[in-house]
Structure 1
Amino acid sequence: MGVSPKIAPSMLSSDFANLASEAHRMINYGADWLHMDIMAVLSEEISSLSSILFNRAYLDCHLMVTNPLDYVEPLGKAGASGFTFHIETSKDNWKELIQNIKSHGMKPGVAIKPGTSVEEVYPLVRTLRKKYPSLDIEVDGGLGPSTIDAAASAGANCIVAGSSVFGAPEPAQVISLLRNSVEKSQ
């Protein structure tokens, strides 16, 4: 496949009162990325995590907002690594948005809601795994030991998992299981 597994615990499932220690804990358990769902400007939290981690983790920010362009500058300044926006909110300005994301030092990502056809993102990538074997494809939502094989066999290599990691008695084992499933599917 040409891409490495990337396991990203969703910080939405963490203890927000101890965000820094939760982030360190997940990195120490083997997480590659930390996933942040952004529903409002959280640039202070991103900046705090960014400075605490000193580039030990990729901060993957998933914008769940109606105007993602408004968030590019604050999140770029705060130290976000990745900026994923929903195509449904950016159909008319996705080219400008991607340029803006890159100009602020972040890696752009495109998300689609479950009810949206994957064809909506074809103008951005044409095809997914087959045409771009080194493209990172992220799956977010309900992933854990019982669902990882389906996502991995479909071509996903970036796995966002919240409650299945943070709620596990042994989070490191869940992270390892997720990674192994992606590796086996390649």
Structure 2
Amino acid sequence: MKKMMFSPSLMCMDLLSMKEQVEILNERADFYHVDIMDGHFVKNITLSPFFVSNLKRISKLPIDVHLMTEYPDDYIEELAKSGADYICPHAETINKDAFRIINKIKGFGCKAGIVLNPATPIEWIKYYIHLLDKITVMTVDPGFAGQPFIPEMLDKIKELKELKEKNGYNYLIEVDGSCNERTFDILTEAGAEVLIVGSSGLFNLDSDLPKAWDKMMEIYEAKTAK
């Protein structure tokens, strides 16, 4: 089994200690997950391209931007210039011009991902799935942290794994939402390859971030041990 990768959700970190926390996570994590919300696609508003440009100055890891925005095209060039490595809009926002958006992301030298809301089927992306570097399965409805896990998403993860293996696709299968002690085992078994960890999965485990990371890894290994 491939080693699980972990992507801390930076909207859940202590932003007053950003530099210190990033330096700690640089030696432990695999990606940084940056949520950008516009107050329209979802009601919340979080991080920004300006945050990405500051993160880039201290990051040793790929910066993965999740665009919860009604018009993702408005952000692509600025995010690429700010230092984003992955740019991942929602399928619900790009399907009228998906090929143009994906080509634009790749044209700026970034990797292209797509995010699927819980009620959005894989069928929506079938004609461009082969172009994707990452597919993120939302296991909660997007916009706010701390929501309950939607178990029906396990079948979506399994289907993505089967499609990847059958067709030789290269996308990473990522999960966003309620990745924690209660779900580590079932997400791993379903075929997840990257887990986005936020408050419940990482940051609330201990006020000392290295201890929180160690606790998370101990929990993950205990839950997924065979």
What TM-score results when the alignment is normalised by the length of structure 1? Answer: 0.86
Residues 70/183 of structure 1: CA separation in 2 closer, same or farther (3 Å cut): farther
Q: Is the 8 A contact 1:7 1:179 kept in 2?
A: no
Match of 1:66 in 2: 70
CA distance in structure 2 between the aligned counterparts of 1:77 and 1:143, rounded to whole angstroms: 30
Match of 1:151 in 2: 187
CA distance in structure 1 between the aligned counterparts of 2:11 and 2:32, rounded to whole angstroms: 10
Query: For residues 54-104 of structure 1, what are the alpha-carbon distances to aligned partners after superposition, in whole Å with 9 as ceiling and x for unaligned?
Result: xx1111110000011111000000001111110001111111110011111
Q: Is the 8 A contact 2:181 2:220 kept in 1?
A: no
Deviation at 1:17, TM superposition (A): 2.2
Structure 1 moving runs of 4+ over 4 Å: 177-185
Determine whether 1:167 maps to 2:204.
yes
Deviation at 1:109, TM superposition (A): 0.6
Equivalent position amino acid for 1:9 in 2: P
Higher relative CO (Cα under 8 Å, sequence separation at least 6) belongs to 1
Task: Indicate the SS of the match to 2:127.
Answer: helix
Equivalent position amino acid for 2:15 in 1: F
Deviation at 1:172, TM superposition (A): 1.9
Residues 57/178 of structure 1: CA separation in 2 closer, same or farther (3 Å cut): farther
CA distance in structure 2 between the aligned counterparts of 1:147 and 1:62, rounded to whole angstroms: 21
Determine whether 1:136 maps to 2:172.
yes
Count how many residue pairs are aligned between Structure 1 and Structure 2.
181
Task: Indicate the SS of the match to 1:131.
Answer: helix
The 5 Å alignment of 1:32-181 reads 32-40=30-38, 42-53=48-59, 56-125=60-129, 128-133=160-165, 134-163=170-199, 164-169=201-206, 170-177=211-218, 180=221
Q: Percent identity of the aligned residues?
A: 28
CA distance in structure 2 between the aligned counterparts of 1:110 and 1:94, rounded to whole angstroms: 10
Deviation at 1:131, TM superposition (A): 3.4
Match of 2:29 in 1: 31
Equivalent position amino acid for 1:171 in 2: A
CA distance in structure 1 between the aligned counterparts of 2:18 and 2:79, rounded to whole angstroms: 17
Residues 38/178 of structure 1: CA separation in 2 closer, same or farther (3 Å cut): farther
CA distance in structure 2 between the aligned counterparts of 1:157 and 1:144, rounded to whole angstroms: 14
What TM-score results when the alignment is normalised by the length of structure 2? Answer: 0.72
Structure 2: runs of 5 or more not aligned? 39-46, 131-158
